[in-house]
A and B are shown apart, each in its own frame.
Chain A
């Protein structure tokens, strides 16, 4: 039997009102990639924070290199050779890439001055290894979300570690970025690192991992080699039951035009026109950086429009800010949950009702009862795992935070709901729940724009699909005529078969 380098047995950890870990186990073997799987809130991130000493454990054993250990904090565990890429980005936008990577470990000369050239050189080397096309002297805030994630990965690699933990590293990455990450993981495996890989993208598990460990409700369920698994078996282990058809599409009733965008120009949007019908899901596909998020933010009034019109139900609205957009019935759920979506220090309730407070108050005064009622309804509808609606949202698992973010948009009862990467970080079971909810609102006549980098999701849920490339629409498909190859071709700009839908 192979010998684990890191071994966790029977770990227990409680938070006020939540038992996050309830006898969790995990073995990490040198030269192998261990997948850690489980639903949102299963306790994966918590287990990793217990390893690195961010949380103290209530009960259980951690053995590292055959010795029992307890780390007092991330510094401690890092020194022992365990580094972690957290699910949430922890970078400083005002600093350069290199400064972020070597924060607190800057290479200094005897006078304490930073050795910039050495630092940039080392950082550039790391970036090159990850195929990031930026100089390490670039300020972090200039990078896309995916590139920032790559910097986080570079940072983890910069430590001399034996174990590397990756908590949903591919969440915000493009396909090519994922590929370069996988190349690096393969190298690391060959060099004998032990790797823990957390992801909700099952395809990746089969591609890169050697073994899987499944947690459910904080309990250890199974440890198996990947080769003995298939996708259905895996889901069954995670969810505890079989899931049928992942994309429960319902046919749209072909309503009239709800939203029309005409010749829209903005900073990186170059003449975009499209229509959206009542009760329709319009998928927007494209590579990261194609300008999808910007287009959505312009429609939502959060970014400046240069020319063109946004017409809702026959009326030109051209919102100049988000208040106007919301007031006319457009809601937007951001792809950047932590930065733009949620106020992490406020409670679940305060976050969920933030956009809709006008409807939940009489005059200036909040109607606490009405607020509590509708928040409770949404928590139930979305099946959000939280001990109460007063829980601080930063304490919820990533997937559950995402559900709150979507509920927040729906609470305004919008006519047009724009979802930007709505299922990022959401587990398979919950994804399906979200899809069913989207469908429910669609059936009630809501028009939905679904921006997603996951092609199966776009293909599975939409009635029509637009593909964007460099701020323009490079293809338009009726879903029946679309497939991955066609979407991909348009996404990279090989526009030859854009069929008008």
Chain B
């Protein structure tokens, strides 16, 4: 009874099937076109770069989340890892540890936290939802204790200025966070499409016992995806901290849901085994453009939530229709 979409359709450029697969891209283009008509400031280089920069944090979280969801898992702890690693980085900077080292250590910290989650899920056979829910609460608590509930400022040293580059700098006229986002997506795309690891991620999400019987170390793949997800959460935390020159203990609260929404709007199945990383980028951009447009159009922030929910629901419904 199983009925799968043909994977070849992506090859038939501009065919009906191709359009169905690219529906999130089309939705993005339509959205941009409509908002451009409604507000002349929207389609300016400044604003577009602004959107990209604002989107980069959620997009980077969503990239890691895509890996996790492809293995039929879920990671609710991304927001908490973001806050903890951000705080950690901020205090290192305030102690005048060189920015590059602080960043690398914070990234490593994120990866280790992720790998702990992965270990609990793989070896402890705990459901991903529960394990990451626990991590989410636990790490938020640790962050609160660590920061004493107050922001940690990076200080006013040269090192703090270096560190600020990650969130506020420009390269070739494009904000650094956007470069980071592009780099992250290119890397994950490469991982998923051109490495064994990527193939195993899809296989694991599609049928765990068959993957195991194919002689693949399923536990290692699981630990791998949660580590990458943790590392990317740390990267997002660094960007936010760097941009604000301080780490907020409540940073990233609720971001896990935005990240999951971006993944789902991008066409990746929560059941695992099916999805595309570039879909996630588009999904994140749809949410980013929507946020920006609603602000530009002076929609009240209460009403914004309703609109956002409606758009996500619509995207998922359309996705189901074509299955």
A residues sitting closer than 8 Å to B (CB atoms) are 15-17, 49, 54, 74, 86, 88, 90, 300, 302, 321-323, 325-327, 332, 334, 339-347, 350, 354-355, 357-358, 361, 364-366, 368, 387-388, 390-392, 394-395, 408
Contacts and interface: CB of A to CB of B under 8 A. Distances in A.
B270 to A, nearest CB: 13
Given A16-B8, A343-B273, A366-B194, A326 B215 contact: yes
B212 A365 contact: no
Residue among B3, B195, B213, B215 with the most chain A CB within 10 A?
B215
Nearest to A84: B1
Interface string B1-35: 11111111101000001000000000000000000
B98 interface: no
B317 interface: no
Contact of A365 (B5, B194, B210): B194
B4 A395 contact: yes
Contacts of A358: 196
Given A343-B203, A344-B206, A354 B211 contact: yes
A341 B211 CA distance: 8
Contact of A17 (B3, B8, B207): B8
A355 B214 contact: yes
14 contacts: A16-B8, A16-B9, A88-B1, A302-B213, A323-B215, A334-B213, A340-B209, A343-B207, A343-B210, A346-B203, A354-B214, A364-B195, A366-B194, A390-B7
Contact of B216 (A17, A323, A334, A365): A323
A88 B210 contact: no
Contacts of A326: 215
Per CB-CB distance, the 4 closest pairs between chain A and chain B, nearest first, are A326-B215, A343-B206, A392-B4, A322-B215
Contact of A354 (B2, B8, B199): B199
Given A17-B6, A86-B1, A350 B209 contact: no
Contacts of A354: 199, 203, 211, 214, 216
Contacts of A321: 215, 217
A342 B217 contact: no
Contacts of A408: 214
A398 B273 CA distance: 21
A418 to B, nearest CB: 11
B123 to A, nearest CB: 14
B274 A345 contact: yes
A394 B6 CA distance: 10
B299 to A, nearest CB: 39
Contacts of B7: 347, 390-392
Nearest to B219: A321
A329 to B, nearest CB: 11
A56 B189 CA distance: 36
A394 B273 CA distance: 13
Contacts of B1: 49, 54, 74, 86, 88, 90
Nearest to A300: B213
A323 B195 contact: no
B2 A88 contact: yes
A203 to B, nearest CB: 28
B213 A350 contact: no
A294 to B, nearest CB: 14
B20 to A, nearest CB: 12
Given A350-B203, A354-B203, A344 B2 contact: yes
Contacts of B165: none
A193 B188 CA distance: 57
B202 interface: yes
B195 A366 contact: yes
B179 interface: no
Interface of B: 1-9, 11, 17, 194-197, 199-200, 202-203, 206-207, 209-217, 273-274
A366 B199 CA distance: 9
Nearest to B209: A340
Nearest to A387: B8
A499 to B, nearest CB: 34
Contact of A343 (B11, B17, B211): B211
Contacts of A342: 207, 210
A248 to B, nearest CB: 30
B206 A392 contact: no
Contacts of B217: 321, 323
B202 A346 contact: yes
Contacts of A341: 210, 213
Given A345-B206, A346-B203, A354-B216, 9 more contacts: A88-B1, A300-B213, A302-B212, A322-B213, A354-B199, A354-B203, A364-B197, A366-B196, A395-B4
Contacts of B6: 15-17, 391-392, 395
A444 to B, nearest CB: 22
Nearest to A337: B210
Given A342-B207, A345-B274, A361 B213 contact: no
Residue among A17, A54, A342 with the most chain B CB within 10 A?
A342
A387 B12 CA distance: 14
Given A88-B1, A322-B212, A322-B215, A346 B206 contact: yes
A332 to B, nearest CB: 7
Nearest to A392: B4
B208 to A, nearest CB: 9
B145 to A, nearest CB: 39
A237 B2 CA distance: 30
Given A357-B199, A366-B199, A394 B4 contact: yes
Contacts of B200: 357
Contacts of B215: 321-323, 325-327, 355
Contacts of B11: 390
Nearest to B195: A364
A357 B196 CA distance: 7
Nearest to A74: B1
Nearest to B213: A340
Contacts of A302: 212-213
Nearest to A347: B7
A411 B274 CA distance: 25
Contacts of B9: 16
Contacts of A346: 202-203, 206, 273
A355 B200 CA distance: 10
Contacts of B202: 343, 346, 350
A391 B8 contact: yes
B216 A388 contact: no
A366 B203 CA distance: 15
Contacts of B212: 302, 322
A73 to B, nearest CB: 10
Contacts of B210: 334, 339-343
Contacts of A357: 196, 199-200
Nearest to A90: B1
A261 B45 CA distance: 71
B165 to A, nearest CB: 31
A49 B2 CA distance: 11
Residue among B195, B202, B207 with the most chain A CB within 10 A?
B207
Contacts of B203: 343, 346, 350, 354
A358 B4 CA distance: 28
B197 A339 contact: no
A277 to B, nearest CB: 25
Contacts of A347: 7
A326 B2 CA distance: 30
B214 A322 contact: yes
